[in-house]
Amino acid sequence: MLIKKPSDVKSSEITPEKVYRNRRAFMKETAALALGGSLLGGASPVLAQDGDALKARAPEALSLSAPAPWWESKFAEVTPAPDQEPYFTGETLTPYRDVTRYNNFYEFGMDKSDPSSRSGTFRTDPWSVEISGEVAKPGTYHLEDLLGPMQLEERVYRLRCVEAWSMVIPWIGFPLVDLIKRFEPTSKAKFVEFETLVDPETMPGVTSRFAIVDWPYREGLRIDEATHPLTFMAVGLYGSYLPAQNGAPMRLVVPWKYGFKSIKSIVRINFRETMPNTTWNDLQANEYGFYANVNPQVHHPRWRQDMERRLPQTLFSRQYIETRLFNGYADQVASLYSGMDLAVNY
């Protein structure tokens, strides 16, 4: 993995938690006005008053992968995150600039800046997802059919990368369990497997001679992990649509696991009786376990896991904090691993 120093970020670009929460308090009041704007027009469909500010920070991020018109109506009413854990952290949010310009998405390249700079031709309309395996309702579903019934909500989660950096991100989406229920998994569905899109025409990393991944990118969860209330299917962040570099149009967010488990740009969900192979586990099993739970006591061979760099940072200013078991969500998820040796099942 390559690590690139993130861009310097001015303190004025950091959104204080209090300011962000004040604007979320009247999201519904501004929704009607916001529907008049479009993504390419420069206004966020939910937080219209923030559209220009966000676009000024990262203009290319808000112009990527414009969604279909039906998508705007889904952002007209977003349930704000509650004021307490586990759906709100109370920590300073990572600036939008860092969230959208410091990414691992090897389909676009191996450098942290590649996903934002090389995804300009990526499009999400039309988009479909194949549902297969141990379910009563398999099939290929268009995105609008998948997401049409879903009530979007906001959740502010910590994101911890195995490379020992972290962020705090306000996601927009819905609990994955709400989607899973619609396909009616059978009693044989013990695991859920996910795959990312492979598109050589818009994803230059796929055809790179430096690529180390056997495409498509694959991830998986146990069914009880996938249906846990914290597991989230994100379709937006910071009150607006997901940019391509963050996994448009839909990506997984599993906040108690290292970031590579939160697979992006999903095109296939497969319900299995047996544990699926996953990309990083196949590449280097001794470094990347299937579970990938954040654990300060189990170190990666190249990165200690008991401390993390909280972004943003500059060359002369870095914030290091202690890493917590399960990324601070132990009260909610520790019971999933009762009796398991977390050093063996890492």
Instruction: Give the pLDDT score at 334.
Output: 98
Closest C-alpha to 252, from 213, 273, 281, 221: 221
Domain ranges of the chain: 80-335
pLDDT tens digit sequence for 129-152: 999 999 999 999 999 999 999 999
Taken in order 72, 38, 126, 220, the sign of the CA dihedral is: negative
Cα 154 to Cα 236: distance, rounded to the nearest angstrom: 9
Pair of tokens at residue 175: 């609990």
| φ, ψ for residue 181, nearest 5 deg | -60, -30
Question: Which tens digits make up the pLDDT trace of 37-71?
Answer: 333 233 333 332 243 343 333 334 343 345 566 77
Note the pLDDT tens digit of each residue in 293-326.
999 999 999 999 999 999 998 778 889 999 999 9
What tokens were used for 263? 């697979």
Considering only CA atoms, which of 81, 69, 45, 66 is closest in space to residue 174? 81
- Which pLDDT score is estimated for 18? 40
CATH code of the domain occupying 80-335:
3.90.420.10
What's residue 313's pLDDT?
85
Quote the CA–CA distance of 97 and 55 in Å, as a whole number. 10
CA distance 100 to 245: 7
Total-model pTM: 0.83
Cα separations (Å) of 20 from 81, 156, 212, 237, 332? 11, 11, 39, 13, 25
Residues of the chain with pLDDT under 50: 1-65
